[in-house]
Amino acid sequence: MSDFAKSPGLAGVCALVAASLALWGIMRQVEVARHAQRLQQISEARRAWWSSFEWVAARAVPAKSDDLPLPYDVILSSLTALYESATDPVQQRAVGAITDVASEMLDSKDAVGDELPASESGSTTPSQERRVLEALRAYSAATANSPAESAAVDAQLYEANVMEALQRVTQIEQPIHELGAGYAMRPDALVTVRGARVIVDVKAYTQRGRKIPLQALNQIVHLMEASRAAGAVIVAPVPLGELPQDTRRPIRSVVWNSPADDQILSAALDDFGGAPPGP
């Protein structure tokens, strides 16, 4: 046997190896414990997320018809927060699904009008409209190109943006929610251009060349007759299919996507300016 085998050096090496093995075992136990703790935290976080989701869903889409949902801006803000804290596509899809249901429960024409809490005068306040618009924009931006993206929210946001554009380029005759008094249906807006009334209908279509359904066209004609409007302008983000030509009740379409298109919108409305009231 060599002198090294009998020396204190070998004993030191053996002690070092034993210590290393013991340390490895301890670190392995710590890693296993940490992994188990992470799994538990993830499980608890998921349970907390689903609990929050159920709470919001129950108040966004009440099970009972006589239960009032939360204000729309609160619903959207809550769902945006849930999306941002979601940890997997299943949770994201759940957010998108309940958002679609909550949005479609509202009248798509009044989502940024009638469905807002009304003031004592019966009209919505600018601050209420601003909160809904901000909530729509926040949800749309946060969920773009994700499983939670909502076509209904995007359509409502488009309509709200068009309403802002109308306020920039012309005079909206009355608040939207008052236009339907006595009407079977309501326009998105009724504007006045050099003394002539013009119906504005917003279609958030995404398919180019899409034709307006005959029923929708008949509704626009009815609104023109009821309000004695000189004409109607359909606003959409893409070019629409050909519209029927009726010199007595002219209907035109215009593409609007951003404030850069305000001049185009203004020109389409101005074509009816000064025209006599409709028949």
**DSSP codes of every residue in 200-232:** EEE----STTPPPPHHHHHHHHHHHHHHT-SEE
Dihedral sign, CA of 238, 241, 242, 246? negative
Helix and strand numbers, DSSP H then E, in the chain: 8, 5
Per-residue pLDDT tens digits for 214-251: 888 888 888 888 888 889 999 999 999 888 777 677 89
- The pLDDT value given to residue 61: 85
- The C-alpha atoms of residue 140 and residue 136 are separated, in whole angstroms, by 6
- The C-alpha atoms of residue 43 and residue 37 are separated, in whole angstroms, by 10
- The pLDDT value given to residue 165: 93
Structural domain boundaries of the chain?
57-169, 172-279
Q: For residue 134, name the pLDDT band (cuts at 50, 70, 90).
A: very high
Find residue 89's DSSP bridge partners.
none
Per-residue pLDDT tens digits for 138-155: 999 999 999 999 999 999
Q: For residue 112, name the pLDDT band (cuts at 50, 70, 90).
A: very low
Per-residue pLDDT tens digits for 153-163: 999 999 999 99
Q: How far is CA 9 from CA 18, 22, 23, 58, in A?
A: 14, 20, 21, 73
Q: How far is CA 244 from CA 174, 207, 271, in A?
A: 28, 19, 17
Residues 107, 115 contacting (CB under 8 angstroms):
yes
Q: Residue with structure tokens 């404030």?
A: 259
Return the SS3 of 251: strand
DSSP letter assigned to residue 256: -
Q: Residue with structure tokens 């008949």?
A: 218
- For residue 170, with 0-12 CB atoms within 10 Å meaning exposed, 13-18 middle and 19 or more buried, which class applies? buried
